[in-house]
């Protein structure tokens, strides 16, 4: 059994999850963390380093210096802000390191194509941490699609109504921004927190066990309740190369603290519903499967990554798969062209410093009604909505330049 030497780029923020995920595999003897890098490590950096059996002397301010000091590295975990994923991943594979990258892989089609090119040129493995694709709930639904028991999938509907307070939109310099320091950030729900559910929907939209559907046309409405560059609310209609229609309703301006996250699959022979910790599959012949399952974590993705490196496993989400998510989000921006502000008369405001929230009145009911009718907000006649952009064809699409 080989012990893989890991290095981590990024310590604070979401990257802390990777330190916990890596440490959970120490008992197997398959992982040894040799170094980490972060130009602005968090206050709890020493504790995180200790958790993976490192000391502060193993922490670098510059990941390039770390790469040079530790040429023995086998694999790099990239847990930095999204706008740096491309740069670090490309440099890592060119140095001969395999990569586990936080989701999303990146924000634009030209960026993902650069990453794909580097991985193919070097022959290195790059896995993207869309962990919910690996969950038992996702895999059970996908099995019912790929074995034909649900029949051909017709529609997939994503409903994500979350509440994020002022602290979330101040969490880092890129929060809510489209561009920061000349790099695309696209820090709205489509590219960041709700990216997982887009990937699940694309996964459910393809009949083959390990394949994802690719967007062919995207139509979108993008809105914001806050003074930010990106959207905090969206609805999207996406047609795929498998003939499936995906509808997505997404907001960070929900009125309830408890998030509502659900994916519905409508097929010829039945339906399926996905949630974090349960799934339900119902066929027209009366068969019903409903089970509670454990929520997927990055630890499961680390285990899959190790199996892939061993040659004993299959990557479920590589860079080429992730390109489909990028096409979905880029197409949404291309269709909408602008982020429409929602007038304050349609909002409930709770000002409270970092805990202040802005929610759209009746948004959960609006999402439920639109999802039932399979229509966009403007098509349903929502008073704050504006007409959707025209459907944007993804045929031959190779460069994103909205906001540029």
pLDDT per residue over 52-109, tens digit each? 999 888 999 999 999 999 999 999 999 999 999 999 999 999 999 999 999 999 999 9
The tens digit of pLDDT for each residue in 102-150 reads 999 999 999 999 999 999 999 999 999 999 999 999 999 999 999 999 9
Average pLDDT of the chain is 96
In this structure, is residue 309 part of a structural domain? Answer: no
184-237 confidence digits (pLDDT tens): 999 999 999 999 999 999 999 999 999 999 999 999 999 999 999 999 999 999
Cα 390 vs. chain centroid, distance in angstroms?
Answer: 25
Residue 353 has pLDDT above 80, yes or no: no
Task: Classify residue 180: in a domain, yes or no.
Answer: yes
- 305 sits in which H/E element: helix 298-310
Listed in sequence order, the residues at least 6 apart from 73 whose beta carbon sits closer than 8 Å to its beta carbon are 5, 6, 7, 34, 35, 67, 95, 97
Residues 93, 144 within the same domain: no
pLDDT value of position 350? 87
Residue 369's Cβ-count burial label (10 Å; 0-12, 13-18, 19+) is: middle
Cα–Cα dist 154/25, whole Å: 40
Mean pLDDT for the stretch of residues 239-245: 98
pLDDT value for 156: 98
Residues 167 and 124 in one domain: no
- Do 96 and 143 lie in one domain? The reply is no
- What pLDDT score does 95 carry? 98
Report pLDDT digits (tens) over 171-184: 999 999 999 999 99
**Among 188, 192, 254, which Cα is nearest to 13's?**
192
The pLDDT tens digits of the residues spanning 1-24 come to 799 999 999 999 899 999 999 998
Q: What is the pLDDT of residue 189?
A: 98
Neighbours of 109 (CB within 10 A): 19
Residue 313 has pLDDT above 80, yes or no: no
Same domain, residue pair 29 and 137 = no
Cα Rg of the chain (Å, integer): 21
Q: Indicate the number of domains in the chain.
A: 2
- 33 SS3 class: strand
The residues with which 349 forms a beta bridge, in sequence order, are 358
What would the mean pLDDT of 297-318 be, rounded to a whole number? 92
Whether residues 74 and 139 share a domain: the answer is no
Tell me the pTM. 0.97
pLDDT band at 394 (very low <50, low <70, confident <90, very high): very high
Q: Which of 131, 155, 177 is the last residue of a domain?
A: 131
Please give the residue range of the domain that contains residue 367.
133-302+318-393
The pLDDT value given to residue 309: 96
Task: Give the pLDDT band of residue 367 (cuts 50, 70, 90).
Answer: very high
Say whether both 194 and 288 belong to one domain.
Answer: yes
Whole-Å CA distances, 318 to 67, 104, 148, 243, 322 = 23, 11, 25, 23, 6
Alpha carbons 69 and 294: distance in angstroms, whole number: 39
DSSP at 345 = G
How far is residue 150's CA from residue 133's CA, in Å, rounded to a whole number? 19
Same domain, 116 and 168: no
Is the backbone peptide bond immediately before 104 cis, with ω within 30 degrees of 0?
yes
Nearest to 198 by CA among 332, 344, 69: 332
Q: What is the CATH number of the domain that holds 137?
A: 3.30.360.10
What is the DSSP code (8-state) at residue 227? S
Q: Given a cut of 80, is residue 269 above it in pLDDT?
A: yes
Domain boundary among 131, 160, 178: 131
The phi-psi region of residue 243 (left if phi > 0; otherwise alpha if psi is between -120 and 50; otherwise beta) is left
Based on the domain organization, do 365 and 245 belong to the same domain?
yes
398 located within any domain:
no
For 238, the enclosing helix (H) or strand (E) is strand 233-240
pLDDT of residue 66: 98
96 and 16 in one domain? yes
| Dihedral of alpha carbons 210, 215, 221, 226, sign | positive
Distance CA 40, CA 57 (A): 15
Domain end call among 110, 131, 152: 131
In a domain, 313, yes or no: no
Work out the number of other CB atoms within 10 angstroms of the CB of residue 229: 17
Query: Residue 355 pLDDT more than 90?
Result: no
Q: Give mean pLDDT, residues 28-50.
A: 93
pLDDT of residue 357: 95
């Amino acid at each position: 059994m080989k012990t893989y030497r890991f290095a981590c780029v990024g310590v604070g923020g979401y990257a802390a999850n990777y330190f916990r995920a890596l440490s959970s595999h120490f008992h197997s003897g398959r992982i040894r963390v040799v170094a980490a890098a972060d130009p602005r490590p968090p206050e709890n950096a020493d504790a995180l380093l200790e958790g993976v059996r490192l000391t502060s002397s193993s922490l670098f301010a510059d990941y390039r210096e770390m790469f040079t000091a530790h040429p023995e590295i086998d694999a790099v975990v990239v847990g930095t802000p999204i706008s740096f994923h491309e740069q670090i991943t490309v440099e890592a594979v060119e140095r001969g390191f395999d990569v586990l990258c936080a989701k999303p892989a990146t924000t634009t089609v030209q960026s993902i194509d650069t990453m794909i090119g580097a991985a193919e040129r070097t022959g290195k493995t790059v896995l993207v941490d869309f962990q919910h694709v690996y969950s038992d709930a996702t895999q059970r639904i996908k099995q019912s699609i790929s074995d034909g028991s649900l029949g051909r999938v017709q529609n997939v509907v994503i409903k994500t109504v979350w509440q994020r307070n002022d602290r979330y939109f101040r969490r880092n310099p890129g929060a809510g921004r489209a561009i920061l320091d000349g790099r695309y950030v696209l820090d709205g729900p489509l590219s960041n927190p709700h990216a997982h559910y887009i990937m699940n929907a694309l996964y459910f939209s393809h009949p083959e066990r390990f394949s994802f559907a690719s967007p062919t046309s995207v139509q979108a409405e993008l809105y914001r309740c806050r003074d930010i560059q990106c959207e905090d609310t969206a609805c999207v209609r996406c047609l795929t190369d498998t003939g499936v229609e995906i509808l997505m309703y997404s907001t960070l301006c929900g009125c309830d603290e408890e998030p509502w996250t659900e994916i519905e699959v409508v097929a010829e022979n039945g339906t399926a519903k996905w949630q974090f910790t349960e799934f339900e599959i119902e066929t027209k012949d009366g068969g019903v499967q409903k089970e509670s399952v454990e929520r997927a974590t990055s630890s499961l993705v680390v285990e899959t990554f190790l199996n892939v490196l061993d040659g004993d496993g299959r990557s479920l989400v590589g860079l080429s798969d992730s390109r489909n998510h990028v096409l979905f989000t880029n197409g949404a921006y291309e269709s909408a062209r602008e982020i429409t502000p929602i007038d304050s008369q349609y909002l409930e405001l709770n000002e409270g410093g970092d805990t202040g929230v802005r929610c759209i009145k009746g948004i959960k009911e609006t999402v439920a009604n639109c999802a039932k009718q399979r229509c966009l907000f403007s098509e349903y006649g929502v008073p704050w909505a504006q007409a959707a952009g025209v459907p944007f064809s993804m045929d031959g699409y190779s460069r994103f330049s909205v906001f540029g």
